[in-house]
């Protein structure tokens, strides 16, 4: 990166300039005011920019992020308390961008940074998101998106099915008393009880059918890949901590990947990717 490049960056980044321009400038212009801000961040920027290919990747990240912030708010200002945190994340993103093998990975880095700036999560989480942005390939992100979207449909169904399961379990004890001729329940009481039980069981069947239909949405998408390829992609996602098997270690565990849940890490990552400007 030449001095003229720094001058272009200084003029181009009205928002991100609050974070890094003084630091970069101090490395070229020995200004005692700026010199105190020189840090590993600036040195890393300069070393990455030695390669033209890497410089283009970093520029794609930075100019794209600046555009997102301007679309969000032309007069966006960083809070003083957040400047160092964002600078640290920006440093990680720049390193990742310089090594990114595709523009889609750089785009994910941009979205994670933008998401953190306008809707911060704990820095440890966002650091992981920046890692996921380049570790995951496009197919894995698509699979995760399908699981994320269906997760929000499945969660309330799981909760209602669990509640109904508890109700029916408790009703077994009630039924023993209702049908026991020695306890004197009237015919009307028996009819009302059996009617409500039948309605509850019908509701359970309907919910289970709806649940399985959504699970089949996942199955249909997963079947687009040959089994070995999908297993490789999905196992890597599991190792990275973005999906997990809630039935692991239980007798009911079938190992069917369609029933896996998204972790909080996976949900947070996709949330940033879907963040609206």
pLDDT tens, the chain, 277 aa long: 555 555 555 556 666 766 665 444 443 444 433 333 333 444 455 454 556 777 788 888 888 888 898 888 888 887 755 778 888 898 888 888 888 889 999 999 999 999 998 888 899 999 999 999 999 999 999 999 999 999 999 999 999 999 999 999 988 888 777 776 666 677 787 888 889 999 999 999 999 999 999 999 999 999 999 999 999 999 999 999 999 998 887 777 778 999 999 999 999 999 999 977 5
- What predicted TM-score, i.e. pTM, was given to this entire model? 0.79
Tokens in use for 221?
A: 């998408």
Contact 114, 275 (CB under 8 A): yes
User: How many Å apart are CA 10 and CA 3, to the nearest integer?
Assistant: 11
SS3 content of the chain, % helix, strand, coil (to 5): 75, 0, 20
Residues 6 or more apart whose CB falls under 8 angstroms from that of 163 comprise: none
Residue 167: how many CB atoms within 10 A of its CB?
14
């Amino acid at each position: 990166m030449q001095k003229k490049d720094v001058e272009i960056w200084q003029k181009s980044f009205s928002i991100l300039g609050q974070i890094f321009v003084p630091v970069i400038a101090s490395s070229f212009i020995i200004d005692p005011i700026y010199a105190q801000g020189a840090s590993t961040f600036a040195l890393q920027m300069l070393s990455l920019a030695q390669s033209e290919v890497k410089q283009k990747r970093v520029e794609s990240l930075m100019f794209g992020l600046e555009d997102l912030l301007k679309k969000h708010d032309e007069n966006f200002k960083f809070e003083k308390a957040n400047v160092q945190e964002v600078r640290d994340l920006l440093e990680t993103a720049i390193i990742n961008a310089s090594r990114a093998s595709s523009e889609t990975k750089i785009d994910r880095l941009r979205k994670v940074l933008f998401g953190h700036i306008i809707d911060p999560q704990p820095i440890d989480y966002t650091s992981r998101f920046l890692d996921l942005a380049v570790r995951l390939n496009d197919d894995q992100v698509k699979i995760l998106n399908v699981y994320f979207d269906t997760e929000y449909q499945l969660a309330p169904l799981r909760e209602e099915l669990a509640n109904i399961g508890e109700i029916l379990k408790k009703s077994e004890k009630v039924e023993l008393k209702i049908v026991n001729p020695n306890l004197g329940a009237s015919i009307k009481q028996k009819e009302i009880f059996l009617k409500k039980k039948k309605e509850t069981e019908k509701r359970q069947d309907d919910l289970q059918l709806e649940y399985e239909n959504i699970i089949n949405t996942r199955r249909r998408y997963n079947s687009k890949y040959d089994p070995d390829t999908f297993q490789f992609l999905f196992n890597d996602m599991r190792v990275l901590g973005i999906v997990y098997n809630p039935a692991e270690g239980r007798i009911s565990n079938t190992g069917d990947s369609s029933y896996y849940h998204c972790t909080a890490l996976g949900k947070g990552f996709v949330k940033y990717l879907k963040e609206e400007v």
